[in-house]
Structures are given as C-alpha cells and as structure tokens.
Amino acid sequence: MKILVGVKRVVDAYIKVRIKADNSAVDVEKLKMVVNPFCEIAIEEALRLKEKGIATEVVAVSVGPDSCKEQLRTALALGADRAIHIATEEITQPLAIAKLFNAMVEKEKPGLVIFGKQSIDGDNNQTGQMLAALSGMPQGTFASELAFEGGEVIVTREIDSGLQKVALKLPAVITADLRLNEPRYVSLPNLMKAKRKPIESISVADLGIDISPRLSTISVQNPPVRSAGEKLGNVDELIDKLKTEGAI
C-alpha cells in the first residue's frame, strides 16, 4: 500500500507573528519556517506503517512556492521515499489544495492519504475532509490511533465528548491529531541520504486545475489586547475580588 502524506510549510509554532503595517496579511518574511507540527505527526504515522510492513511506499506532497522543497527535504530525511512538489506562487486555500491533492490521488492511487488535522497558520481544519469529498474516499479525522483489519482501517478519533471508533474502507483519508504518535527527529545519516532522494516538480498549470481563491482577504487585524491585571497577596483577597465582581 502506498501512502501519500501532506506536508505544509508554516511559521515555527514558537514565533509570535506580526501583522503587516497595511493590515493586508501576517508578515511571514524572514521568519523561521518549519513543517506544520500536525504534518510531522502524519509523516511519522506513514513511516511507522511502512516499518510495520503495512505500507510499501511513503510519498510526501507539498503545494506552494519553491521554498516548500525545504520541508519536503525534511520529510525525505525523516524517511519518506520520494516527494512531489506542486509548484505555485499563488495563495492556495484548502479547497484548491484538496483539488491538487485529488489530482495526485488519481495519479498515484494511494491506499491511504494522511494529513495533519489542521495547519497552525490558517487553523482551517478542512483540507483532509475536502480531499476525501472530492476523491470519494471515507475520512478518519482527528485520529489518535490506526489499526488495519481486512481491507479496512479502524480509526480512533478524538471527539469533543471522548473517543470514537469508526471503520473505513480503504482507500481512505486520515487526519492526524496530537496523540497519534510522537514524531522522530532527523538523523544525520538520513539527512545525507535524503539529498539523493527524488523530488518531482509539477506545475499547477500542467494539472489544469483552477486554484483561484474563493475567499478574499479584506484585512488582517490584531486581536483585542488583554492587559495584565493585578497581583493579589493571598487567597482571601482573591475570593473577595471575585465576589465583588459577581464571578462566584
């Protein structure tokens, strides 16, 4: 079984981003860029499935400008067999990305596609579900455990009220939640080996898919600032304050 894994280039989670002076967008220039943490979990899961003999090949796929190759290189260094870069300089929204991935699904015919449940920039939580829709595959979102039995994948899903188990016919789309696994680190020998692994580049124009954004950004603003209040001396003062405010 072949696995496609989505890899997104995002600003490092530990950086607090700033908004451009003209309020047109978040300023990401010159910031440290990394693999989206949820995509790291997706890559890790694919690698483990290969190590268990369930998967035969892991293909990392990323959509975006040339700089995305850096994150694909990371995926290769982690252990992916090859990578596909879908090249575009345009802003791509989840629906567009799902359409591009759907073209890769038709080309590669994977048994499983694994995404992170959301990217930490847009926080949209849409792409996996949208690909599942377009490809007609069932979906196991917010996955914390996968098991394979008789042509099905049993997915344990993290839901608001606890955990849910569903069985999905393969091929299927999975989106990874935090507890699916703990991603490994890149080792130096694997980093060297990754340099020889292939990254195939495909241009969006060649795929003939319309990726024009459906949502236009009017503005990006700072959220209301919360200022630090007062430090209290003891529990009695705290209870007193909360009672005065009617909070308790």
Partner 1 sequence: MSILVIAEHNNEELQAATANVLSAAKVLAQKADCKISLLIAGYNCSSVAESACAIDGINEVLLADCPALEKQLPENLAPYLVELVNEKSFTYLMAPSTTTAKNSLPRIAALLDVAQISDVIDIVNTDTFVHPIYAGNALETVKSGDVVKVMTVRTSAFDAASLTGGTALVEKLKDAVDLGVSRFISETVVESDRPELSNARIVISGGRGMQSADNFKMLEAVADKLGAAIGASRAAVDAGYVANDMQVGQTGKIVAPDLYIAVGISGAIQHLAGMKDSKIIVAINKDEDAPIFNVADYGLVADLFEVLPELESKL
Question: 22 to 81, contacts with partner 1 by CB under 8 A?
Answer: 26
Contact partners, residue 6, CB within 8 Å, separation at least 6: 39, 42, 61, 62, 97, 101, 113, 114, 115, 116, 127, 128
Among 71, 74, 93, 181, interactor with partner 1 by CB under 8 A? 93
Neighbours of 205 (CB within 10 A): 10
Site for partner 1 in 185-224 (CB under 8 A): 213-223
Q: Does 11 bind partner 1 (CB under 8 A)?
A: yes
Say how far apart CA 63 and CA 61 lie, in whole Å. 7
Q: How far is the CB of 170 from partner 1 (least distance, A)?
A: 10
Q: Does 184 bind partner 1 (CB under 8 A)?
A: no
Contact partners, residue 201, CB within 8 Å, separation at least 6: 84, 85, 87
Q: Is 23 left (phi over 0), alpha (psi -120 to 50) or beta?
A: left
Count of chain residues binding partner 1 (CB under 8 A): 80
Among 51, 67, 163, 203, interactor with partner 1 by CB under 8 A? 163
Q: How far is the CB of 246 from partner 1 (least distance, A)?
A: 9
10 Å CB burial of residue 83 (0-12, 13-18, 19+) is: buried
Q: How far is the CB of 111 from partner 1 (least distance, A)?
A: 14
Among 71, 74, 126, 181, interactor with partner 1 by CB under 8 A? 126
Site for partner 1 in 101-120 (CB under 8 A): 117-118, 120
Binding window for partner 1 (CB under 8 A); candidates: 7-15, 60-68, 186-194, 198-206: 7-15
Fill in the DSSP letter of residue 224: P
Say how far apart CA 79 and CA 197 lie, in whole Å. 10
Q: How far is the CB of 187 from partner 1 (least distance, A)?
A: 24
